[in-house]
A and B are shown apart, each in its own frame.
Chain A
Amino acid sequence: MGMTLPGLVYLVLFAYVPMFGLVIAFKNYNYSTGLWNSPWVGFKNFDFLFASQDAWRITYNTLFLNFLFIFFGTIASIGFALLLNEIRIKVLSRFVQSTMLLPHLLSWVIVGYFVYALLTYNGLVNNILGYFGIEAIEWYNSPEYWPAILTITAIWKMLGYNSVIYLASILGISSDYYEAAVIDGAGKMQQIRYITLPLLSPIIIILVLLSIGKIFYADFGLFYNVTRDMGMLYSTTDVIDTYVFRMLRTVGDVGMSSAAGFYQSIVGLILIVTANFVVRKIDREQSLF
């Protein structure tokens, strides 16, 4: 069908052609010899990723934290979308809809400031703890709390955005189903469980699959700004993207940054193909491809 043509041409022009440039990952790029004539160096550009003592740590952090985000984020977003769907009072629904996308509009830099204002030693959270007689915690010096802190922050920022997608799906569900269910005597929870969720499952699965494809990438803004690049927190918050950023801040080698991207892409590809394969076995229609 000719319809797909514009989209495909676009992708060829803007995505596939530049992809040839991935060869930089395997070369020692020198500006005077240009892209094609710079010398090949095999996997040398990948050294700083794999040979590093932190290689395992950043991989683990990236996977673990992204898993937390996907898991809790999806549950929260679906829950919130369901909630929104239940609102009867128009004023209320308009109010929450207006505010729902605000977190997404704020840049991570600003969000970083807020988290700072909350978690700084004399900040809000410690003050509240003080009321309850709990001793103040040095948040920025305690890596163990940060997976939770980051997850909460990430969910806060993305909740509205993600819920919109689920909400649009829910709205598309014909009211006939619900009316029939009510006639059969089904309660709200049962309606959600047997009608809404199953009909939502295509979009849920797609979103989760796509997230898995990106699981090796971290939202740089989140990790860099909210942690304020505090070295003391690296053990639980240092992910591939922040690590590469620091590396390249000193060395700034184009080949190395390309190598890092390549690594993330390959792993993402393997994961998504595997996940898709699993989904296919269960229900062919729901799979991505």
Chain B
Amino acid sequence: MGKKYGMKFWATAMAMFLAVALVGACSTKNANNGNTPATVKPENSSVTAPQEETANATEEHVTLTWYFPGNVQKMTDKATVEAEMNKILNEKINASIELMPIDWGAYDQKMNIMSAGGEAFDLMFTAPWSNDYYKNAAKGALLPLNDLLDQYAPNLKSVVPEKVWEATKIKGNIYGAINWQIVAMPYGAQIAKKYVDKYDIDVASLKTFKDFEPYYEKWDEDYPAFFGGDQFTNAPPYYGFDSVGGDNSVGWVKLDDPNLTVVNQYASDEFRNIVETYYSWREKGFIPRDAAMNTDERKAALNNAGQFELPGTFSLPLKPGSDLETKAAYGEEFVNITITEPLITTNRAIATMTGISRTSKNPERAAMFLDLMSSDKELYRLMASGVEGKHYTKISENLIEYIADSSYQPNSDWMFGNQFLGYYTTPEAAEADIWAVTEKLNNEAKASPLLGFVFDAEPVKSELAQLDSVYSEYSKGLLTGTMNPADKLPEFLDKLNRAGADKVIAEKQRQIDEWKKSK
């Protein structure tokens, strides 16, 4: 017994010792990792044509990895697409691309852990709403791109107007390459034509959400007219505001305020107005009693089943061609009512970007790749639509039809580069030349006065988290008329205050004032 005890004891002790020793090795390894950030030093400081730089930088063949969210099962044939893309890439920049799509449900988590774990890869999709752009920038997961873009991606740099690039800048650095698509969003509503006809809706007279009320009185279907839901935070411009930082977070600025004063949007008259009206609508039965439970998914399912709503709000983003899309989707005609002027706001401008990871071994080549994705029509179309014949059939120069259940159908061309290089999928869109229309809209649209200001959440991150929790607690209830605003609205505002609303507003104001001065 004594002998066995001894052996066992030493075995355990050794195991522990090993572990500690390994951990010790850990710290030295990590210390080294910390000291070698990938920095890019351009060889000449003067501006040179890309060709010359390329010659220097593309001596050896490299493989770039690109992570982005998507339906992996719908991209089983990515190998074919990669092969075709690589033909072009090999010739132009002596590189190959490896596409790494990650399922939507796993993307955020996976990129989070890969960045936190310091894994090496080159490109990743990032936006405020997916793989949080701000957080990645703050935590050092993304490389600053200013020089890289100027040197290796001049086409990309020039196709997106300078004022839009401003929207990406955090402390003067660009951390994401913008995927050029619609950025100037007008807001409005979409009504199924059959309702317009049935209820004699005078579309031209609909200006505010209250104008829908008389039609609700007339409503005759066997389901309530308005599904309800969060119509407030997803469309600040419609209410005359621009958001600062996240759309939900307390502190918006009125668009027509030259002083750029930050106010609590939930304490505004607009909000109170909406909440009270919706409450009365629910009492009258225009909004279903279980509206708070209606997820976007459920609404989509109801639409599929032929039930459409008469929206009591004009907060739907309406890009050119959206009515064509909904028509193709549901087989119903829709009427678009646009209420606001198109406006470029920060969140819209950076809604889709591709970033270069700090751990990338070939940032120059990655930047060149991004340049091609924004300028090479053939390359872009390969990525967005696949290979002709295998994944789609070409109908005319710019019009295609997707082959049903094909093995490559990412369906997210807005993620991959310059969307305006892509194909059209409906004849109406091709005829109307929607891309050109959209691009024109972008270039001519007004910019929000806050465009170019990026809020640094770090000093108030704890308060922001708590405020978001309070928001979650009350928003659905108030915005679907489920909660009685008479007592719940003051309660909501009170809780916001106790969670630090004033502190956040003050911090936002401080940062905005500083930014204004520096302009």
Which residues does A use to contact B, with CB under 8 Å? 1-2, 4-5, 8-9, 12-13, 16-17, 20, 29-37, 44, 47-48, 51-54, 116, 120-122, 138, 140-141, 228-232, 234, 238, 243, 246-254, 256
Which chain B residues in 126-144 approach chain A with CB under 8 Å? 132, 135, 139-141
Q: How far does the alpha carbon of A247 sit from the alpha carbon of B471 in the complex, in Å?
A: 11
Q: Is the CB of B293 within 8 A of A230?
A: yes
A230 with B115, Cβ < 8 A, contacts A138-B289, A247-B466, A251-B465 known:
no
Whether B33 pairs with A34 at a CB distance below 8 angstroms is yes
Closest chain B CB from A106 CB (angstroms): 18
What CA separation (Å) do A251 and B462 show in the bound complex? 8
Cβ contacts B2-24/A at 8 Å (1 or 0 each): 00100110011001100100110
15 A–B pairs (Cβ distance < 8 Å), ordered by A: A5-B15, A13-B19, A20-B26, A31-B141, A32-B140, A33-B140, A37-B34, A48-B465, A53-B466, A140-B292, A228-B293, A232-B483, A238-B473, A249-B468, A251-B462
Given A34, A120, A249, which contacts B34 in the complex, CB threshold below 8 Å?
A: A34
> Contacting A120 at CB < 8 Å: which of B249, B290, B483, B498?
B290
Closest to B289 in A: A121
Is B499 touching A53 in the complex (CB atoms < 8 A)? yes
Interface size of B in residues (CB-CB distance below 8 Å): 54
Residue from A138, A140, A246, A256 within 8 A of B469 (CB atoms): A246
A53 to B473, CA, bound (A): 13
Q: Could you say which residues of chain A place their CB within 8 Å of the CB of B358?
A: 31-32
Report chain B residues within 8 Å CB of A9.
15
Residue in contact with B31 in the complex, picked from A34, A53, A231, CB distance below 8 Å: A34
How far in angstroms is the closest Cβ of chain A from B229? 13
Minimal Cβ-Cβ distance residue in B for A3? B8
**Chain A residues positioned under 8 Å from B115 (CB to CB):** 31
Q: Are A34 and B16 in contact (CB under 8 A)?
A: no
Task: State whether A232 and B30 are in contact (beta carbons under 8 Å apart), knowing that A47-B462, A53-B495, A252-B132 are contacts in the complex.
Answer: no
Q: If A51-B462, A232-B482 touch, does A2 touch B4 (CB 8 Å cutoff)?
A: yes
Report yes or no: B8 in contact with A243, Cβ–Cβ below 8 A.
no
Taking a contact as CB atoms under 8 Å apart, the answer to whether B11 and A5 are in contact is yes
| Nearest B residue (CB) for A230 | B292
- Chain B neighbourhood of A5, CB < 8 A: 8, 11-12, 15
CA distance A37 to B26 in the complex (A): 12
| Contacts A31-B141, A250-B246, A250-B464 known; 12 new A-B pairs at CB < 8 A | A9-B15, A17-B19, A36-B27, A36-B34, A37-B30, A121-B290, A138-B482, A140-B292, A230-B292, A243-B469, A250-B248, A250-B468
Which residues from chain A contact B34 at a C-beta distance below 8 Å? 32-34, 36-37
Interface secondary structure of B, over-half rule:
helix
In the complex, residue of chain B having the shortest beta-carbon distance to the beta carbon of A34: B30
CA distance A230 to B480 in the complex (A): 12
A121 to B482, CA, bound (A): 12
A8 x B15 contact (CB < 8 A)? yes
A13 and B26 alpha carbons, distance in the complex (Å): 14
A251 to B249, CA, bound (A): 11
Within B455-480, the residues touching A (CB, 8 Å) are 457, 461-462, 464-466, 468-469, 472-477
- Residues of B238-279 at the interface with A, using a CB-CB cut-off of 8 Å, are 246, 248-249
Report A-chain residues with C-beta under 8 Å of the C-beta of B4.
1-2
Report chain A residues within 8 Å CB of B11: 2, 5
List chain A residues, Cβ under 8 A from B461.
Answer: 251, 253
Q: Which of A31, A35, A238, A249 has the most CB of B within 10 A?
A: A31
Shortest distance in angstroms between B495's beta carbon and chain A's nearest beta carbon? 7
- Cα separation A33 to B112 with both chains bound (whole Å): 16
Asked if A36 and B7 make an inter-chain contact with CB atoms under 8 angstroms apart, the answer reads no
Q: Contacts A34-B30, A36-B31: A1 and B466 contacting too (C-beta < 8 A)? A: no
Give bound CA distance, A213 to B461, whole Å: 31
On chain A, the residues within 8 Å of B22 by CB distance are 17
Query: Which of these, B8, B15, B26, B248, contacts A12 with CB under 8 Å?
Result: B15
Contact of B140 among A30, A48, A140, A228 (CB under 8 A): A30
Residues in A with CB closer than 8 Å to B499 are: 52-53
A249 cross-chain contacts in B, Cβ below 8 A: 468
Smallest CB-CB A-B distances: 4 pairs: A32-B140, A231-B473, A247-B465, A34-B30
Residue in B27, B116, B468 whose beta carbon sits within 8 Å of that of A246 in the complex: B468
Assess the B16–A20 pair: CB atoms within 8 A.
no
Question: Do residues B139 and A31 form an inter-chain contact, with CB atoms below 8 A?
Answer: yes
B289 contacts which chain A residues (CB < 8 A)? 121, 138
A12-B19 contact given A32-B140, A231-B477, A247-B466, CB 8 Å threshold: yes
Instruction: Find chain A residues with CB under 8 A from B140 CB.
Output: 30-33
A140 CA / B295 CA spacing, docked (Å): 14
Q: Closest residue to A32 on the B side, CB-wise?
A: B140
- Residues of B427-484 at the interface with A, using a CB-CB cut-off of 8 Å, are 457, 461-462, 464-466, 468-469, 472-477, 482-483
Collect the chain B residues with CB atoms within 8 Å of residue A8's CB.
Answer: 12, 15
Q: A2-B4, A12-B15, A53-B466 are in contact. Are A17 and B290 (CB under 8 A)?
A: no
User: How far, in Å, is A270 (CB) from chain B's closest CB?
Assistant: 25
Bound: A13/B116 CA distance, A: 21
A37 to B461, CA, bound (A): 22
Residues B139 and A250 in contact, CB atoms below 8 Å apart: no
* A10 vs B22: C-alpha distance when bound (angstroms): 15
| Distance of B75 from chain A, by nearest CB (Å) | 25
Q: Say whether B306 faces chain A, with CB atoms less than 8 Å apart.
A: no
Within the complex, which residue of A17, A54, A230 is in contact with B476, where a contact is CB–CB below 8 Å? A230
**Which residues of A are found within 8 Å of B16, using beta-carbon distances?**
12
CB distance from B512 to the nearest CB of A (A): 20
